[in-house]
Amino acid sequence: MRRILWLLIALALLSLCACGAPSETEDPQSGSSTVNEEPGGLEVQMLIYDADDVRVYYLGYIEEPVYGPQVKLYVENDKNIDVSVYAYDFSANGIKFIVGSDTKVPSGGTARDSIYIVDVNFETSGITSVEKVEFSLDIINAKENYRNNSDVISIDI
């Protein structure tokens, strides 16, 4: 009798657990994408640098509450040496700002990183929304005595 009672309790618990399961097993497809899709599933908006087997893609501009405004980048390194990518001479809407950017990319690898705008004082600079950013990139490997600088990169946000 006890075994039957325990069996009924177990069946009741299992049926209650099954009631909480989602009824759909497929993810609904939402909207259409306006960006290009790279082989790794990465959304790429714009190739901004392509020289000497190093490519840098612009992924977007976001303003996060914790880290502040950022220019999102994706870097591909097809060189046989590790490289570091730095941004310098950064301006937003024509006004210079200090940024933090140090993206280390292994040989034959990729990296996803951001250019962090450090001195965010847009209101005192008269900026209500960022419409255009400009910067240059410095791609280096000090051990291998390698350095390549980009021209000024201009992106309309």
Spans of all domains in the chain: 54-151
pLDDT at site 65 = 82
pTM above 0.75, yes or no: no
Residue listed under structure tokens 């490519």: 55
Q: Which of 70, 150, 148 is nearest to 113 (CA)?
A: 70
Residue 76 in this model has a pLDDT that exceeds 60: yes
Residue 37 has pLDDT above 60, yes or no: no
Return d(Cα 84, Cα 104) in angstroms, integer. Answer: 4
Q: Give every CB contact of residue 129 below 8 A, 6+ residues apart in sequence.
A: none
Is it the case that residue 36 has pLDDT exceeding 50?
no
- For the domain with range 54-151, which CATH number is right: 3.90.75, 3.40.50, 2.60.40, 1.20.1070? 2.60.40
* pLDDT reported for residue 18: 57
